[in-house]
Amino acid sequence: MSASVLSVRDLTVKAHLQGETRTLLQGVSLDLAKGEILGLVGESGSGKSLFCRSLVRLLPSSLLKIEGGTILFEERDLTAVTDAEMLKVRGAEIGMIFQNPTSHLDPVMRIGDQILEGIRYHQGINGRDARAAAIEILAQIGFPEPVRQYDSYPHELSGGMRQRAMIGVALSCNPQILIADEPTTALDVTIQAQILKLLMDIRDRHGLSIILISHDLGVVAQTCDRIAVMRGGRLLEQGLKRTILSAPQDPYTVRLIHSHPSMPDVALPAVSAPAPSRAATRPLLEIDDLHVRYPTGGSLFRGKNARTVGALSGVNLEIMPGETVGIVGESGSGKSTLARALLGLTPISSGHVSFDGIDLFQQRNAGLARLRREAAMVFQDPFNALNPRLTIGQTLAEVLKVQKKIARADIPSRVDELLDLVGLEREFVNRKPRSMSGGQCQRAGIARALAVDPRLIIADECVAALDVTIQAQIIDLFRKLARDLNLTLIFIAHDLAIVRNLCERTVVMYRGEIVEDGRSEDVFSRPKHPYTAALIAAIPDIDPDRQLLGHTDAASLEPIQSFKRMP
């Protein structure tokens, strides 16, 4: 390992909020060697992003201040240099890649021009040469047609391409250090694999040093040389990745590693209830040749021949009462559409959905009424799924009132029961979503679904946005509920590891169709469809020796939908 390019000592950042001072970073010391990839992991709010922003002195608010410590970079202390000098460090020496490319790329500027801006400003190249350099970068980061794509706007690109563009913009300044703040969290496993590959590639080619932030230990395990673990503003431990992964010192790190879904020991036999004998009962849900098409940009005056996008094309599925079914598939494969169609929230174009024997198409009103009383949905985004103006108590009480399954007088006690059930304290009755954490909101969402007293729960990616530790809690909760209340559970995720842990049956979707359906063990151990196989291969395993994407070449996995379908 070569000498360190960046050396941080005792970095302390404090926030001064209305007379109260909170220490957000406490004496963090860290070294970054030339050409190394350092993984920074830790739970949400532990200060990972803050640490990186401190390095370039771009704190999110003027109330936060660097109060101590040094950041040594090329013999200068970055905490002490002038603002003008700092301008030269940012970008040109230390570049940043952000988690959310959609919001960090300028929506009204062409991708190429955004790259050009850095080249012009930091490398002093102008005119034709600059453009050529920009196109060169586009090619490097895997744009298949750089000359044409120079003129694309961010919104015309897929998520993965946008993330690449973001990396391109950072590279345009020709930095020595790249900081990548959760660059793949929003992406699919397959795209994630490509981006991580790209980062490693760049490191290899340009000899860059990279700090990679993630809360997914798997990602870090696959890409990094060293790992640093943060919690509560402190650096808990750091070291070579193998050391950390095999012999974690801090109890938190131990927990972090153990809650990783890819850890095989967690794979308890899925829901322990004996698989119900399928032949005995009739299916709770029957889906027969379901098609859903969305109109695109249609308007009142354009009539029926408007363009449509097929989101589901010919889905057949039968779900027995008491089953736990996981639905996986890449983004845009139609998982949510399927869920919504099942619940009658999206008009179906053709096919049949019957719930407990009632056809939703032929007996729409009866079917919906029945459905609304017996099925419930848990949404992906915990914050947006709850009405921000209502307290949790009001939210739950309203459902109970409308559903009229219990007497009015019993509502308060039932609300308490529900909170107990999802493990929220009773004082949450008076809390509003905004004052709760994501995990707490998600539980409230589950409580609301349970308030219906449903036979069927559909959970649409309800853990994707959460921390691994909280993820684990929620999954435990579902497992318990399924067991205790004999619920039928449809669990949608694109994280296969979770599905594998929770569900006894797995359905794989690809481009609006079901490509695989079977018992989870079978699907995961012996995938029949190549897409399933690719999906499984792309899961970053926490074991660094199980190589990301195995031996497949990144190039062979062409970005699925590199360009959005244009209407």
Pattern 328-367, binding to ligand ATP, x per CB under 6 A? -x-xxxxxxx------------------------------
Candidate residues 190, 262, 333, 336; the one interacting with Mg ion per rule CB under 5 A: 336
**Rounded-to-integer distance, Cα 7 and Cα 28, Å:** 11
Q: How many residues bind ligand ATP (CB under 6 A)?
A: 28
Q: Does 343 bind other proteins (CB under 8 A)?
A: yes
**49 or 520, CB closer to Mg ion?**
49
Pattern 523-542, binding to other proteins, x per CB under 8 A? --------------------
DSSP of 288-341: EEEEEEEE-S--GGG-TT--EEEEEEEEEEEE-TT-EEEEEE-TTSSHHHHHHH
Q: Which two tokens stand for residue 345?
A: 């929230």
**106 or 289, CB closer to other proteins?**
106
**149 or 337, CB closer to ligand ATP?**
337
**Rounded-to-integer distance, Cα 288 and Cα 359, Å:** 11
The candidate with the shortest Cα–Cα distance to 495, out of 182, 260, 320, is: 260
The candidate with the shortest Cα–Cα distance to 11, out of 43, 62, 39, 53, is: 53
**489 or 496, CB closer to other proteins?**
489
Count CA within 13 A, CB hemisphere, residue 487.
28
Instruction: Report which secondary-structure segment, H or E, holds 179.
Output: strand 177-181
Contact 395, 430 (CB under 8 A): no
549 binds, among ligand ATP, other proteins, Mg ion, none (CB under 5 to 8 A by kind): none
- Which of the residues 294 through 333 are near Mg ion (CB under 5 A)? none
- Which of the residues 226 through 285 are near ligand ATP (CB under 6 A)? none
Contact 233, 47 (CB under 8 A): yes
- 68 contacts: CB under 8 Å, gap ≥ 6: 10, 11, 12, 27
**179 or 189, CB closer to other proteins?**
179
- The CA distances from residue 266 to 49, 241, 306, 406, 471, in Å, are 30, 22, 49, 38, 13
**143 or 510, CB closer to Mg ion?**
510
Q: Does 311 bind ligand ATP (CB under 6 A)?
A: yes
**307 or 483, CB closer to other proteins?**
307
| DSSP three-state, residue 247 | coil
Q: Which two tokens stand for residue 24?
A: 């957000």
Candidate residues 169, 180, 492, 514; the one interacting with other proteins per rule CB under 8 A: 169
Residue 279 CB, shortest distance to other proteins, in Å, is 31
369 binds, among ligand ATP, Mg ion, other proteins, none (CB under 5 to 8 A by kind): other proteins
**311 or 419, CB closer to ligand ATP?**
311
331 binds, among ligand ATP, Mg ion, other proteins, none (CB under 5 to 8 A by kind): ligand ATP
**Rounded-to-integer distance, Cα 283 and Cα 281, Å:** 6
Residue 153 CB coordination number (10 Å)? 15
Residue 67 CB coordination number (10 Å)? 16
Contact 401, 480 (CB under 8 A): no
Give CA angle at 370 (367, 373), nearest 5°: 145
157 binds, among Mg ion, other proteins, ligand ATP, none (CB under 5 to 8 A by kind): none
Q: Does 184 bind Mg ion (CB under 5 A)?
A: no
| DSSP three-state, residue 70 | strand
The candidate with the shortest Cα–Cα distance to 327, out of 339, 341, 342, is: 339
Residue 114 CB, shortest distance to ligand ATP, in Å, is 24
- Which of the residues 280 through 299 are near other proteins (CB under 8 A)? 297
Q: Does 54 bind Mg ion (CB under 5 A)?
A: no
**76 or 432, CB closer to other proteins?**
432
| DSSP three-state, residue 145 | coil
Q: Does 314 bind ligand ATP (CB under 6 A)?
A: no
- Which of the residues 377 through 436 are near other proteins (CB under 8 A)? 377, 379-381, 384-389, 398-399, 402-403, 431-432, 434-436
Stretch of residues binding ligand ATP (CB under 6 A), selected from 38-46, 67-75, 313-321, 433-441: 38-46
**64 or 489, CB closer to ligand ATP?**
64
**Rounded-to-integer distance, Cα 399 and Cα 376, Å:** 11
Pattern 224-243, binding to other proteins, x per CB under 8 A? --------------------
Candidate residues 376, 463, 487, 492; the one interacting with other proteins per rule CB under 8 A: 376
**Rounded-to-integer distance, Cα 49 and Cα 96, Å:** 11
Pattern 485-504, binding to ligand ATP, x per CB under 6 A? ---------x----------
Pattern 111-130, binding to other proteins, x per CB under 8 A? ------xx--xx--------
Binding site for Mg ion (CB under 5 A): 49, 336
Residue ranges binding ligand ATP (CB under 6 A): 15, 24, 42, 44-50, 60-61, 63-64, 215, 294, 296, 309, 311, 329, 331-337, 494
